[in-house]
């Protein structure tokens, strides 16, 4: 302690100078408007930049947990919406009630993803212990992502829509014309809408959504929009290129969807295909 006092005593002149300098500056900035304005603006700018940097730093580390919480909340809302009874006329309700409440939703995070191969896969951080099973659909807010191929206890592998063997049952939202969406292995932002007859009028900009004709996805989930249409050369179908809604180069959080009636539907369709069984 004595050494500290001795050190301060040696610097007494400099310390006194600093105190007087600060007092003088305080008087100048307080009683002179121009200088005060300059000081105020400069200090505010510095403080603002400092706070902005601090917020950016904190946000960087909290963004993951925030996005995860939002994804889980959205999945919960999707489940609640699916359980709600639609307000429609009685005829439509009788038809639809047999299939109501049969979809459940989970959120998951993409931990691995490829887009440059002809057969791309995605890895999610949810597995069998979380209720994920083979065949579940995967999508995000922008559109269809793929379908679960296999699971371990804590992870699942997804066949990406950017896989040349994956077909998604689709329809043109405006006209209700059905087809199948398939990636042609060329552009990760585009795919083909197949099996639409030549006589059908298809226009650029029309929205493509899931048809609901299989047991994987509910009806109406976005897939993309029509980009180009031509008559095609060798088939009776149009050559339709669509721009995919999902950006596969920036996948983060996604949703898994399970149809609780899928096994029953698949079993019935198997019997229809193989009636001798």
Instruction: Report d(CA 196, CA 210) in Å as an integer.
Output: 15
Mapped onto helix, strand or coil, the DSSP state of residue 44 is helix
Task: Please name which of 84, 117, 75 lies closest in space to residue 253, comparing C-alpha atoms.
Answer: 75
- Tens of pLDDT along 98-134? 344 688 898 999 999 999 999 999 999 999 999 999 9
Q: Is 80 exceeded by the pLDDT of residue 15?
A: no
pLDDT at 42: 47
pLDDT at 56: 55
- Tens of pLDDT along 210-248? 998 888 999 999 999 999 999 877 678 999 999 999 999
Q: Is 70 exceeded by the pLDDT of residue 137?
A: yes
How many residues in the chain?
277
Instruction: Report d(CA 107, CA 68) in Å as an integer.
Output: 8
Q: Residue 125 in contact with residue 109, Cβ under 8 Å? A: yes
Lowest pLDDT segment from 9-23, 88-102, 134-148: 88-102
pLDDT at 7: 65
First to last CA, the chain: 96
pLDDT at 158: 96
Q: Where are the domains of the chain?
A: 108-261
User: Pick the residue with more confidence: 89 or 196?
Assistant: 196
The architecture in CATH of the region 108-261 reads Beta Barrel (2.40)
Mean pLDDT computed over every residue of the chain: 77
Q: Sign of the CA dihedral 156, 161, 166, 169?
A: positive
Q: Is 90 exceeded by the pLDDT of residue 28?
A: no
Question: Dihedral of the CA atoms 259, 265, 269, 271 (nearest 10)?
Answer: 140
Measured CA to CA in angstroms, residue 249 lies from 23, 71, 116, 189, 254 at distances of 58, 19, 10, 9, 13
- Tens of pLDDT along 151-201? 999 999 999 999 999 999 999 999 999 999 999 999 999 999 999 999 999
User: Pick the residue with more confidence: 57 or 256?
Assistant: 256
Burial class from Cβ neighbours inside 10 Å (0-12, 13-18, 19+) for residue 256 reads buried
Cα 210 → chain centroid:
17
Residue % of the chain over a pLDDT of 90: 49
Task: Please name which of 67, 80, 58, 77 lies closest in space to residue 125, comparing C-alpha atoms.
Answer: 67
Per-residue pLDDT band for 79 (boundaries 50, 70, 90) equals low
Q: Is 50 exceeded by the pLDDT of residue 76?
A: yes
Lowest pLDDT segment from 43-47, 95-99, 201-205, 206-210: 95-99
Residue % of the chain over a pLDDT of 70: 62
Instruction: Report d(CA 251, CA 194) in Å as an integer.
Output: 26
Q: Is 80 exceeded by the pLDDT of residue 264?
A: no
């Amino acid at each position: 302690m004595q050494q500290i006092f001795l050190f301060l005593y040696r610097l007494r002149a400099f310390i006194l100078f600093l105190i007087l300098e600060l007092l003088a500056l305080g008087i100048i900035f307080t009683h002179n408007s121009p200088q005060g304005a300059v000081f105020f603006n400069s200090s505010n700018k510095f403080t603002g930049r400092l706070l902005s940097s601090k917020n950016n730093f904190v946000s960087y580390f909290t963004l993951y947990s925030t996005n995860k919480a939002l994804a889980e909340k959205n999945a919960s809302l999707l489940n609640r919406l699916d359980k709600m009874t639609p307000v429609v006329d009685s005829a439509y309700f009788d038809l639809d009630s047999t299939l109501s409440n049969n979809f459940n939703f989970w959120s998951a995070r993409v931990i691995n993803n490829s887009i440059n191969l002809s057969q791309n896969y995605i890895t999610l951080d949810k597995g069998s212990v979380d209720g994920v099973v083979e065949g579940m659909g995967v999508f995000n807010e922008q559109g269809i992502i793929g379908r679960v191929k296999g699971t371990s206890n804590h992870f699942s592998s997804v066949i990406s829509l950017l896989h040349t063997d994956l077909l998604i049952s689709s329809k043109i939202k405006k006209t209700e014309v059905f087809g199948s969406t398939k990636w042609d292995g060329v552009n990760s932002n585009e795919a083909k809408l197949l099996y639409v007859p030549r006589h059908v009028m298809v226009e650029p900009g029309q929205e493509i959504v899931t048809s609901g004709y299989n047991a994987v996805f509910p009806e109406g989930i976005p897939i993309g929009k029509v980009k180009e249409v031509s008559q095609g050369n060798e088939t009776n179908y149009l050559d339709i290129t669509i721009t995919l809604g999902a950006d596969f180069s920036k996948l983060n959080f996604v949703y898994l969807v399970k149809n609780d009636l899928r096994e029953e539907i698949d079993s019935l369709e198997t019997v229809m295909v193989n009636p001798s069984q």
